[in-house]
Amino acid sequence: MLVINSLTKNYDGFTAVDNLSFKVGEGEIFGFLGHNGAGKTTTISMLVSLIRPSSGSAEIAGYDVVKDNLKVRSMLGYLPENVNLYSNLTAFENLYFFGSLSGVENVEKRINEVLKDLEMHSWKDTKVREFSKGMRQRIGIAQALLHKPRILFLDEPTSGLDPQGTKSIRDLLLYINNKWNTTIFLNTHLLSEVKKICSSIGIISHGQLLMTDSLINIKKKFGSEKSLEDIYFRIEGDQNNGENTVYSI
Amino acid sequence: MSEMIVIARKEIKDSLNNKFFLSILILLLILTIVSIVLGTLQVHSQIAQYNRSIEFLKSMGKTNLPPMPSLNPLSVSKSFVNYVAMIGALLAIVLGNYAVSKERKNGTFKLILSRSIYRDQLINGKLGGNLLLLALINFAIAAVTIIFLTALGGVSLSQADLIRLIFFFAASFLYMALFFIISLFVTLLLPYKNYALLTVIIIWLVFAFIFPQIGDTMDMDNQLPGGFFASMGLNRAQEKQIVNKFKFYETLRNGIEELSPTKHFERISFALLGVKPGFKNNTAWEIANLKWLNLAGLLVPNIILSMLSYLVFLRRENL
Ligand SMILES: Nc1ncnc2c1ncn2[C@@H]1O[C@H](COP(=O)(O)OP(=O)(O)OP(=O)(O)O)[C@@H](O)[C@H]1O
Ligand SMILES: [Mg+2]
C-alpha cells in the first residue's frame, strides 16, 4: 500500500527526515513512533504531498506522491495535529465543505452515513466551537473519511484527550480498519497506544528510522517479558551508547 | 460544482458568522444612515432658512428675490466617503487577515491542500469569495443610501444622480478591495497574524491619514472654506493658470497625494458626488475619464498585489 524509498527532507542544512525507507501493507494499522521533533509530522506531510521531499520518493498504491500528487491525495484521508476546523460553522457545514472539495457525490447522504458511523449524528447542526476536544477530533476523522480513502494518515489523533476520549478514538480506528479494511498510518509518541491497536510499527529518532517490524515480531525478537516501552528505550539507548562509544574513542 | 465556488461560498459563510466582522459591518451601515440623516437635516435647514429670508424680503416689499440655492441631493452622503475611507478599509483589512490567519490557526489549510485540488483553485476561491462579499456589502450600502435619501430627504434622484451613485460605489468597492488584498498579502508574508494586522494598520494610517494630511496642508485650494479659487470667483481655466505658476510645488503635493489610495478614492468620490464643484455638468462617464489617473491609482495596485499574492501562495511550502 505504502512504499517509502530513501525519503529525505532538509531545512536549511538541517535534516528533519533522513533517508527513510519502509513499507506498510494494505489493511495494516501502522504506528509511527517517535519523541517530539523526531520527524513524524514532516514525514506525514511529505506522504500527503503537502511538502516536497528533498530527495527520495514514496508511493501510495503505486502512485508517486510527487508526480501523481492529485491522484494520491484523492486516495488518502488526513487529520493533521491540532486541527480546529471552522469553529463558526456547524459540523455539517464543515463536512459539506470538505466533502464538496473532495468531489464526493451525494455529499449530504454520505455525511449522514459517516456521522452515524461515528456516533456524532445528533451533533450535526451544532457549531464546532461548542464541541469538546474529543468531539472535534471525531469530526476531524469524519472529514478524512468522507471520500472513502484507502489509507488514513493521522497525526497524534489522541493528543490532548483524556483516557476516555483516547479509548474512544482508539476504538473508532479499530472499527474503521475492520469495517473497510482501511490502512491507517498513525503518528504517536505514546507507546501504550501503539501496543493496543497497531499491527506493525516503525520507530523514528532524529529523522532516522531505528527499526520497523510487525508488533508480534518485535515482541518475539525482544522476548515476551519486555514491554514495548523497554524496547523503545533499549534501541534508543543502544544508539546513544553507540554514539558515546564513538565519542569516547 | 467547481472547487473554487465551494471555497468562495465557504469564505462568505464563515465571514457572515464572524461576530467581529459583523459588528464592523453594522457600524458602517449605521454610520451610512446617520450621515444621510444629518445631511438631510442640514439641507432642510438650508431650505427653511432660504424660505425665511424670502418671506422677510417679501414683507419688506422687495420684488427682486434671490434664486433658490441649487441643492445637490448626493452631497448629502458626503461624510459617507470618510466613513468608507476609514471603516470600509478596516472591514477589508479584517477580511484579508482572516482569510489567511484563520486557516492557519485552525489547521484547515492542510485539510484543504491535502485534497485533490490545485493551490490556485484555493486562492481563486478566496479572492473570489471575499471580493464578492465586498461587492455585496457595497451593494447593500448603496441600497440603504438610495432608500434613505428618497424616504428621508424627500428628494427624487434623477437618473444621472443614480448613475453617479453607482459609480461611486464601484469606486468604494475598488478602494476596499485594495485594502483587502494588502492585508491578505501581508498576512501571507508574515508568520504571526497580529504582526500582520499591526503592519497593515500602520500602512493604512499612513495612506489614509498621513499622506492626505501632508497633501491637504499644502493644498492652496484648501486654505479658505468653500475653496480658495471659488471664493476668488475664478473658474477652472483660471485656476489652472494660477496653479501652473506653482508647478513644482503642485507636483510635489500631487506626488505625495498620489501615493495614497485614500486620496484617489476621495478625489473620484467628491467629483462624483458633486462635493467638489466643477463637475456638475459632467456625466459619470466623463468624470471617470477625467479622473482616470485616480481610478488607475486604485486599480493598478489591486492588480499588482493580487499577482504577488498568487506568487507567494503558489510557491510557499508552508502557508
Ligand atoms: N518548516 C520548517 N522549517 C525548519 N525546520 C522545521 C520545519 N518543520 C519542522 N522542522 C524541524 O524538523 C524537526 C522535525 O519536526 P516534526 O514536526 O516533523 O517532528 P514531530 O516528530 O512531528 O514532533 P512532535 O511530536 O513535536 O509533533 C524538528 O526539529 C523541527 O524543528
Ligand atoms: Mg508532529
* ipTM at complex level: 0.89
Residue type, B46: Q
Kindly state whether residue A232 falls inside one of the protein's structural domains: yes
Q: How large is the average pLDDT for residues B171-196?
A: 93
Helix axes B119-153, B159-189, angle to 10 degrees: 140
| Together in a domain, A31 and A142 | no
The CA R_g of chain B, rounded to the nearest whole Å, is: 23
Number of C-beta neighbours around residue B104 at 10 A: 17
The sign of the dihedral angle between the CA atoms of A6, A10, A13, A16 is negative
Ligand 1 and A11: CB distance under 6 A: yes
Residue type, B276: K
Residue type, A195: K
Distances (CA, A) of B224 to A177, B147, B229: 80, 34, 9
| Together in a domain, A32 and A155 | yes
Write down the residue that cell numbers 464543515 correspond to: A94
Q: How large is the average pLDDT for residues A210-228?
A: 73
Kindly state whether residue A69 falls inside one of the protein's structural domains: yes
| Together in a domain, A21 and A97 | no
Measured in residues, chain B has a length of 319
Chain B nearest C-alpha distance from A130 (Å):
14
Q: How large is the average pLDDT for residues B30-47?
A: 83
| Together in a domain, A155 and A140 | no
Residue B145: closest CA among B121, B125, B169: B169
Kindly state whether residue A30 falls inside one of the protein's structural domains: yes
| Together in a domain, A140 and A198 | no
| Together in a domain, A233 and A153 | yes
Ligand 1 and A188: CB distance under 6 A: no
| Together in a domain, A15 and A57 | yes
A30: alpha, beta or left? (left if phi > 0; alpha if psi -120 to 50) = beta
CB within 8 Å of A10: residues ≥ 6 apart: A16, A54
Phi first, then psi: what are they for B63, rounded to 5°?
-110, -20
CA distance A116 to B131: 37
| Together in a domain, A143 and A155 | no
Question: How confident is residue A248, by pLDDT bands cut at 50, 70 and 90?
Answer: very low
- Range from B86-95, B150-159, B255-264 that averages highest in pLDDT: B86-95
CB contact under 8 A, B106 and A84: yes
First to last CA, chain A: 43
Ligand 1 and A102: CB distance under 6 A: no
Residue A72: closest CA among A10, A4, A155: A4
Interface test with B, best of A86, A98, A127, A185 (most B CBs within 10 A): A86
Predicted pLDDT at B15:
92
Residue type, A82: N
Per-residue pLDDT tens over the stretch B62-118: 777 777 766 666 776 677 788 888 889 999 999 999 999 999 999 899 999 999 899
Predicted pLDDT at A245:
36
Q: Give CA A90 to chain center in angstroms.
A: 25
| Together in a domain, A153 and A57 | yes
Predicted pLDDT at A247:
33
Chain B nearest C-alpha distance from A167 (Å):
24
Distances (CA, A) of B93 to B16, B41, B98, B134, B267: 15, 33, 9, 11, 22
Kindly state whether residue A168 falls inside one of the protein's structural domains: no
CB contact under 8 A, A73 and B6: no
Ligand 1 and B63: CB distance under 6 A: no
Q: Which of residues 102-121 of B touch A (CB under 8 A)?
A: 102, 105-108, 110-118
Phi first, then psi: what are they for B54, rounded to 5°?
-65, -45
- B76 neighbors B164 (Cβ within 8 angstroms): no
CA distance B215 to B287: 22
Chain B nearest C-alpha distance from A83 (Å):
5
CB contact under 8 A, A50 and B114: yes
- B127 neighbors B99 (Cβ within 8 angstroms): no
CB within 8 Å of A215: residues ≥ 6 apart: A194, A195, A198, A199, A200, A201
CA distance A106 to A95: 12
Predicted pLDDT at B185:
95
Strands A76-79 and A29-33: unpaired
Write down the residue that cell numbers 451525494 correspond to: A106
Predicted pLDDT at B274:
76
Of chain B, the percentage scoring pLDDT greater than 70 comes to 89
Predicted pLDDT at A146:
94
Ligand 2 mean position to A40 CA, how many Å?
5
Q: What is the largest CA-CA distance in chain B?
A: 86
Number of C-beta neighbours around residue B176 at 10 A: 29
Give yes or no for residue A184 having a pLDDT over 90. yes
Per-residue pLDDT tens over the stretch A148-179: 999 999 999 998 898 899 999 999 999 999 99
Distances (CA, A) of A231 to A4, A193, A213, B228: 24, 15, 12, 88
Ligand 1 and A233: CB distance under 6 A: no
Domain count, chain A: 2
Q: How large is the average pLDDT for residues A225-230?
A: 60
- Assign B195 to helix, strand or coil: helix
| Together in a domain, A109 and A57 | no
CA distance A247 to A101: 53
| Together in a domain, A7 and A58 | yes
CB contact under 8 A, B110 and A97: no
Predicted pLDDT at B268:
87
Nearest CA in chain A to B117: A70
Domain range for A140: 84-147
- Better pLDDT: B154 or B167: B167
Write down the residue that cell numbers 498621513 correspond to: B210
CB pairs under 8 A between A and B: 71
- Helix intervals (H) in A146-227: 163-180, 191-197, 215-221
Predicted pLDDT at A101:
94
Number of C-beta neighbours around residue A103 at 10 A: 15
Indicate the average pLDDT of chain B.
84
- Helix intervals (H) in B219-260: 228-231, 236-245, 247-258
CB contact under 8 A, A71 and B317: no
Q: Which of residues 39-58 of B touch A (CB under 8 A)?
A: none
Q: How large is the average pLDDT for residues A44-64?
A: 94
For residue A14, which atom of ligand 1 is closest to its CA? 5
Q: How large is the average pLDDT for residues B179-201?
A: 93
In A61-158, beta strands by DSSP E: 63-64, 76-79, 151-155
Ligand 2 mean position to A127 CA, how many Å?
27
The CA R_g of chain A, rounded to the nearest whole Å, is: 19
Kindly state whether residue A204 falls inside one of the protein's structural domains: yes
- Assign A20 to helix, strand or coil: strand
For residue A102, list chain B residues with Cβ-Cβ distance below 8 A. Answer: 115-116
For residue A182, give the C-alpha cell.
Answer: 482501511
Per-residue pLDDT tens over the stretch B112-142: 999 989 999 999 999 999 999 999 999 998 8
Per-residue pLDDT tens over the stretch A64-112: 999 999 999 999 999 999 888 999 899 999 999 999 999 999 999 999 9
Number of C-beta neighbours around residue B43 at 10 A: 18
Kindly state whether residue A170 falls inside one of the protein's structural domains: no
Number of C-beta neighbours around residue B38 at 10 A: 12
Q: How large is the average pLDDT for residues B314-319?
A: 83
Kindly state whether residue A79 falls inside one of the protein's structural domains: no
CB within 8 Å of B314: residues ≥ 6 apart: B119, B120, B123
Give yes or no for residue B184 having a pLDDT over 60. yes
Measured in residues, chain A has a length of 249
Nearest CA to ligand 1 atom 26: A36
Question: How confident is residue A249, by pLDDT bands cut at 50, 70 and 90?
Answer: very low
- B130 neighbors B176 (Cβ within 8 angstroms): no
For residue A145, list chain B residues with Cβ-Cβ distance below 8 A. Answer: none
Question: How confident is residue A243, by pLDDT bands cut at 50, 70 and 90?
Answer: very low
| Together in a domain, A155 and A226 | yes
- A134 neighbors A72 (Cβ within 8 angstroms): no
